[in-house]
Structure 1
Amino acid sequence: MKHLISISLLCFLCLGCSNSSKKNYNYYLNLVENQHEVIELVSNEGNSRILVSPYHQGRILTSTYNNLNGMSNGWINEIALKDSTKSIGGEERLWIGPLGSQFSFYFQQLAPIHDDNWKVPATMEAEPYQVVQTTPNYVKLSKKMHLTNFIGTTFNLEVNRKISNLSKETIQNNLNINVSSATKFVAFETEHQLKNLDTIAWTKDKGLAGLWSAGMYPGDDSVIIIPLKNNGRKQDVLTYLAALDSTRFVVKNNAVLFKGDGQYRSKIGVPPQYAPSIYGCYSKTNHRLTIIQYKKEQDTLYSNSYVSIQDKPYKGEAIPIYNNGSDFYELESNAPLKELRPNATTSHWHRVYHFSSTPSELNAISTKLLGLSLNDTNL
């Protein structure tokens, strides 16, 4: 019987984690920089800040739109700063898919495929990235990786990662919206390039590799909003883990509404034919609307999250959303998996925009970008 990869096993044994959404950005900045090199990307007169840690695989640990004492947007596992076997979490990280199937990189070649054998390869979870270039607006990082999938196919690859702090003008141009002077904001873009360093081509029968962006956020009253394309229905959305009732997952006005409270371990995936290039997340408590925009391609080969040997291992999702059972939820995007020749590359970009303003201002952004009033997002 198919079931979901136990994502929680890597860092989510955190029921006792000391992590509070009330701790501000400056708290986490001081906490991390006391142990590791950090890079801050700062704009908007110091109000928009992004915290990057090369040691933690070049992750964006968190961000804020209200200067040093502003709310910390990302979820950080403080225990990981003392215990290197735990994941630090972070507001955006890069992993390499597939996540599920016989081509997964996450089961250590231990048969059978089972949650107990789940482990993130050290090259993605415990090894630092090399800083290539830093400027006031962006940082470039690089990492060479050696990975082996479940059936034993080895991959040698190089990842190049660029993290940029987006200006108000860029935000408005990217989203074709007007950001009022009363609206607080922070936004960033991560750009990735994956290169095949092997001397042979990667093929579907042996497994492929692909880019996967994911961000972790403290659970609250957040509702994830995903407008479905091509008349997508509730039954077209993949569901994993625990059963989901109408208090946690519905399709309303042709949009998925999924609860991100970090209190009920569950996951959904939107297949590429129904996935939009923009989706959102609204936290009424924090007066925050988050917009995710990513590189949406026409390819059809995508990773899924089933723990099993599969007949259709490339039938997956472009948008995975995960709700953890003890603290946080994740907003993600998948790049398609591609057959790459030696020295060939594939790329993916993922953008996160946080807006905080009056209900009417946030509602205007939601209505334009998501086609749904925030008044219709209650679960």
Structure 2
Amino acid sequence: MKHLFYILFFFLFIISCSSSTKKNYNYYYNLVKDQHEIVELVSNGGNSRILISPFHQGRILTSTYNNVEGISNGWINEEGLTDLNKSIGGEERLWIGPLGSQFSFYFQQIEPIHDDNWKVPSTMESEPYTLIYKDENHVELSKSMNLTNFVGTEFNLEVHRKISILRQEIIQKNLNIKLKNSTKHVAFETNHKLTNLDTTAWVKEKGLLGLWSAGMYPGDDSVVIIPLKNDGKKPDILTYLATIDSTRFIVKKNTVLFKVDGKYRSKIGIPPEFAPNIYGCYSKSKNKLTIVEYKKENDLWYSNSFVSIQEEPFQGEAIPIYNNSENFYELESNAPLKILSHGETTSHWHRVYHFSDSSEKLNKISQSLLHIDLNDIKLNAN
């Protein structure tokens, strides 16, 4: 009996320790606040929360819909807190496109243009933003940047970043849905403005710029759902990095299904003529449906993700989706590349909505917004 008591005590101790170190929202809140200034926006009686770090380029590090002990929606690289040579990740960040082509900012004249020479400019990876305003619903930040693309064109610009947490009534108005009382939720909007600070206009022949929102999430059983416009088919979708078979990527009834488990490095891009202004991501194991909405424009000049010198560098994607092999994936949106004169601006907004409820209730949201039954979210077996 005495041995049984000690075994039971040890088991309870292990459970207690595991619970106390669970990497939920509160874990990351405490981890970051001990090292850097943070801003937290809260709504829905404290249940809906987003965590922002001005030091980390004004990134939304993570969010939750179940108060401080709720799950952490964003993927955070803890090594990035102490090593500025490593990205911290985060649920939403602002980068500047293009990613690929001779006009890319992510190879910095390091020849040849190749994945091995990938190098994110410090102004987008390790330099802080200036916090210029905050209240209970939103924060505003700014940053002046100097960027040089692969062919050597230099750009001087300023970005303004506004982050807002969205209350339930705004969520329902934006998406034209009615949430059930049982549906847990958190949502945010990032609104960006980019201004040309150069004395001359930017020209297409030397490269252009575009705003680019991207969020990193822990790999799981999630499947990205993108209802295509204009009768889009699988050959219309851009694919990168690796061969993607039907266990990971299919188009079913004009809807893209793309597995994002964080275990196979691959990427797809939806060209603007086929891209909707709203798409989703569903995790059955977490009972979570994520909806992404963004400012969709009629322009056709977009950056793409091909790492090469290109004959057509302005034929790209409005929606890039990236599945990494290191336990995370990215939900993204691109703004078009713009010719801007001195002092002229361009803008882009990106909204993320997380919902958690029974599969039946999430299915109603999916059918309303994505026009697909969640029971049909199936890829081919191996």
Establish whether TM, by shorter chain, passes 0.5. Answer: yes
Distance 2:357 2:210 in 1: 36
Distance 1:257 1:117 in 2: 31
The one-letter code sitting in structure 2 at the alignment partner of 1:83 is D
Q: Which residue number in structure 1 is paired with residue 142 of structure 2?
A: 142
Q: Which residue number in structure 2 is paired with residue 115 of structure 1?
A: 115
Per-residue CA deviations over 1:127-172 (Å, capped at 9, x if unaligned) read: 0000010000000000000000011000000000000000000000
Distance 2:61 2:267 in 1: 22
Q: Which residue number in structure 2 is paired with residue 225 of structure 1?
A: 225
The one-letter code sitting in structure 2 at the alignment partner of 1:159 is V
Q: CA deviation at 1:186?
A: 0.1
Tell me if the contact between 1:59 and 1:94 (Cα under 8 Å) persists in the aligned partners. yes
- 1:225 match: secondary structure: strand
1:21-36 correspondence runs (5 A): 23-36=23-36
Unaligned runs of 5+ in 2: 1-20
Q: Which residue number in structure 2 is paired with residue 9 of structure 1?
A: none
Q: CA deviation at 1:111?
A: 2.0
Tell me if the contact between 1:48 and 1:63 (Cα under 8 Å) persists in the aligned partners. yes
Distance 1:308 1:344 in 2: 30
Q: Which residue number in structure 1 is paired with residue 47 of structure 2?
A: 47
Q: Which residue number in structure 2 is paired with residue 241 of structure 1?
A: 241
The one-letter code sitting in structure 2 at the alignment partner of 1:169 is E
TM-aligned CA distance change 1:111 to 1:355, over 3 Å: same
The one-letter code sitting in structure 2 at the alignment partner of 1:221 is D
Q: Which residue number in structure 1 is paired with residue 362 of structure 2?
A: 362
Q: Which residue number in structure 1 is paired with residue 264 of structure 2?
A: 264
1:291-330 correspondence runs (5 A): 291-330=291-330
Q: CA deviation at 1:378?
A: 1.8
The one-letter code sitting in structure 2 at the alignment partner of 1:370 is L
Per-residue CA deviations over 1:162-220 (Å, capped at 9, x if unaligned) read: 00000000000000000111100000000000000000000100100110000000000
Q: Which residue number in structure 2 is paired with residue 172 of structure 1?
A: 172
Aligned: 1:192 with 2:192: yes
Q: Which residue number in structure 2 is paired with residue 90 of structure 1?
A: 90
Q: CA deviation at 1:22?
A: 5.6
Distance 2:299 2:339 in 1: 11
Per-residue CA deviations over 1:63-96 (Å, capped at 9, x if unaligned) read: 0000000000000000111212100000000000
Q: Which residue number in structure 2 is paired with residue 99 of structure 1?
A: 99
Q: Which residue number in structure 2 is paired with residue 182 of structure 1?
A: 182
Identity %: 71
The one-letter code sitting in structure 2 at the alignment partner of 1:35 is Q
Q: Which residue number in structure 2 is paired with residue 13 of structure 1?
A: none
The one-letter code sitting in structure 1 at the alignment partner of 2:252 is K
Q: Which residue number in structure 2 is paired with residue 332 of structure 1?
A: 332
The one-letter code sitting in structure 1 at the alignment partner of 2:353 is Y
Distance 1:308 1:254 in 2: 30
- 2:88 match: secondary structure: coil
TM-score by length of structure 2 reads 0.93
Tell me if the contact between 1:62 and 1:74 (Cα under 8 Å) persists in the aligned partners. yes
Aligned: 1:290 with 2:257: no
Q: Which residue number in structure 2 is paired with residue 280 of structure 1?
A: 280
Distance 1:145 1:170 in 2: 33
- 1:307 match: secondary structure: coil
More helix by share: 2
The one-letter code sitting in structure 2 at the alignment partner of 1:350 is H
Distance 1:115 1:293 in 2: 30
The one-letter code sitting in structure 1 at the alignment partner of 2:161 is R
Tell me if the contact between 1:22 and 1:71 (Cα under 8 Å) persists in the aligned partners. no
Q: CA deviation at 1:242?
A: 1.2
Distance 2:51 2:110 in 1: 36
Q: CA deviation at 1:225?
A: 0.1
Q: CA deviation at 1:108?
A: 1.4
TM-score by length of structure 1 reads 0.94
Q: Which residue number in structure 1 is paired with residue 65 of structure 2?
A: 65
Distance 2:356 2:117 in 1: 41
Q: Which residue number in structure 2 is paired with residue 160 of structure 1?
A: 160
Per-residue CA deviations over 1:250-271 (Å, capped at 9, x if unaligned) read: 0012100000100000000000
The one-letter code sitting in structure 1 at the alignment partner of 2:151 is I
The one-letter code sitting in structure 2 at the alignment partner of 1:372 is I
Unaligned runs of 5+ in 1: 1-20
Distance 2:94 2:60 in 1: 10
Distance 1:58 1:207 in 2: 26
The one-letter code sitting in structure 1 at the alignment partner of 2:148 is T
User: What is the count of residue pairs matched by the alignment?
Assistant: 359
Q: Which residue number in structure 2 is paired with residue 18 of structure 1?
A: none
Distance 2:92 2:22 in 1: 20
Range with greater deviation from structure 2 (132-141 or 110-119): 110-119
Q: Which residue number in structure 2 is paired with residue 6 of structure 1?
A: none
Q: Which residue number in structure 2 is paired with residue 14 of structure 1?
A: none
4+ runs deviating over 2 angstroms:
none
Distance 1:42 1:302 in 2: 35
Per-residue CA deviations over 1:267-288 (Å, capped at 9, x if unaligned) read: 0000000000000000011100
Distance 2:110 2:246 in 1: 37
Distance 2:68 2:111 in 1: 48
TM-aligned CA distance change 1:22 to 1:372, over 3 Å: farther
Q: Which residue number in structure 2 is paired with residue 342 of structure 1?
A: 342
- 2:142 match: secondary structure: strand
The one-letter code sitting in structure 1 at the alignment partner of 2:61 is L
